[in-house]
Amino acid sequence: MADKYDGDLIQESLELLKGAALREALLSAIKQADEAQDHYYRMFFRYQYAAEVYFHDDPPKAMPAAIEFSSIFEEYPDLFGSAGGEMYIMIMQLAVDPVVSLPQIPISQWEEMMDQYYQLIKRFNIGHRTYWSQKSQFMIYIDKEKAFEYFQRFWKTGRDDLSDCRACERSFAVRMHLLMGDEEGAAVHAKPIKQRRLSFCKDTPHRMLKAYIEYAMDKGDLKMAIPYARELKRIGHRDRGDLSYIGAVLRCFAFSDLEQGVKLMANSFPWAAGLWDEKMAYDFYKGAGAVLHQLSRKEEHIPLTLPEQFSCFRNDGVYPVKELEQWVYGQAEDIAGRFDARNGTNFFKDNLGLAVNYSY
């Protein structure tokens, strides 16, 4: 006789796992719950898996699990009681959010997804504030005035149980004010984070630090970027989900601490292999390109352990620095081109232009 399915036991067994082992175990847990037709755990493990890959691996990988959660939830809407609506919207956010980083998904489809997502928000009457933040984050690369308008709507809408943590919201506010060139406005929002007057989640103060580094480097102010980069280096290279942060640090370290920059790049480079989140890959390549550019002035070759998935892979593990720099920028250019084509703007092309202006 087959053993009785015990979702609680499986859940307990996941508690000490991390990283790749946790993701594999969660996929296996989903499979077992599917086989047992335990709809509560079918949803619960999908929810956990989506959150795990979204925050610690490659965010678009959350999409299939989130969308499957939606189908199961619609069939069994009462299994999570009153918390169900909140869970449902939260996981759908993980399905919608990565679209900004996937240039192959057209804007019209994103708009339709957002409409459907908004229907859910109205249905459960929760998540209004987050909805405006989602819209704002997408528009950053298309129309910054519009993005700021959405940001203001987000800021004016009341908080609810689905809102991001206060520190993340402040980090986002810092980013939006810097986007508009308003350093004073950004400083107002940054102050409680810098003074640690707010509780932090996993992504704060990382987001704020990244926003400051990119802003400072874009305007050629290396001195301003350095303390933020040092702090972000200390806290922001935990797993693959940190590649965007690492990219920002590399961009600054290329000109302020090349030795650490090379080390950080070498250690995190393999994480960029097979990444679906193209914005994250772009951020990393942008920073790695700067490091390689500076390194090429001193060294001709760099030893790296890269996976074969990279088209630049070399069996001997020794890479000509100039050649690798060109390859890395080629990747960034390619991604920038695809984002701009989807968005109908020159945002990424201009952004990359600022990054390769080495006048620090």
Question: In the complex, which residues of this chain contact other proteins (CB under 8 A)?
Answer: 16-21, 24-25, 27-28, 30-31, 34, 60-61, 63-65, 67-68, 70-72, 95, 99, 102, 104-106, 109, 112-113, 115-116, 194-197, 230-231, 234-235, 237-238, 267, 270, 274, 276, 303, 305, 307-309, 317
Rounded to a whole number of angstroms, the minimum distance from the CB of residue 49 to other proteins is 10
Residue number with CB closer to other proteins (309 or 357) = 309
Residue number with CB closer to other proteins (25 or 280) = 25
**Among candidate residues 214, 245, 310, 260, the one with its CA nearest the CA of residue 56:** 245
Rounded to a whole number of angstroms, the minimum distance from the CB of residue 357 to other proteins is 30
Report DSSP state, residue 319: E
Residue number with CB closer to other proteins (179 or 302) = 302
Report DSSP state, residue 309: T
Phi, psi dihedral angles at 208 (to 5 degrees):
-65, -45
- Which ranges of the chain would DSSP assign to H, the alpha helix? 7-14, 19-36, 39-56, 62-75, 84-96, 107-124, 128-139, 144-156, 166-179, 183-194, 206-218, 222-235, 243-256, 258-268, 278-295, 321-343, 347-355
Residue number with CB closer to other proteins (43 or 355) = 43
Residues 6+ apart with CB under 8 A from 116: none
Distances (CA, A) of 16 to 12, 13, 53, 129: 8, 7, 17, 34
Rounded to a whole number of angstroms, the minimum distance from the CB of residue 144 to other proteins is 25
- How many Å apart are CA 136 and CA 153, to the nearest integer? 9
Rounded to a whole number of angstroms, the minimum distance from the CB of residue 180 to other proteins is 25
Residue number with CB closer to other proteins (60 or 144) = 60
Rounded to a whole number of angstroms, the minimum distance from the CB of residue 48 to other proteins is 15
Residues 6+ apart with CB under 8 A from 252: 213, 216, 217, 222, 225, 226, 228, 229
Tokens encoding 97: 């959010």
Residues 6+ apart with CB under 8 A from 138: 99, 100, 110, 147
Residues 6+ apart with CB under 8 A from 29: 7, 10, 11, 14, 41, 45, 48
End-to-end CA distance of the chain: 71
Tokens encoding 287: 């920073």
Q: Tell me the Cα Rg of the chain.
A: 21
Rounded to a whole number of angstroms, the minimum distance from the CB of residue 358 to other proteins is 27
Residue number with CB closer to other proteins (110 or 215) = 110
Rounded to a whole number of angstroms, the minimum distance from the CB of residue 32 to other proteins is 10
Rounded to a whole number of angstroms, the minimum distance from the CB of residue 143 to other proteins is 22
Residue number with CB closer to other proteins (147 or 246) = 246
Rounded to a whole number of angstroms, the minimum distance from the CB of residue 191 to other proteins is 11
Residue number with CB closer to other proteins (26 or 173) = 26
Residue number with CB closer to other proteins (17 or 180) = 17
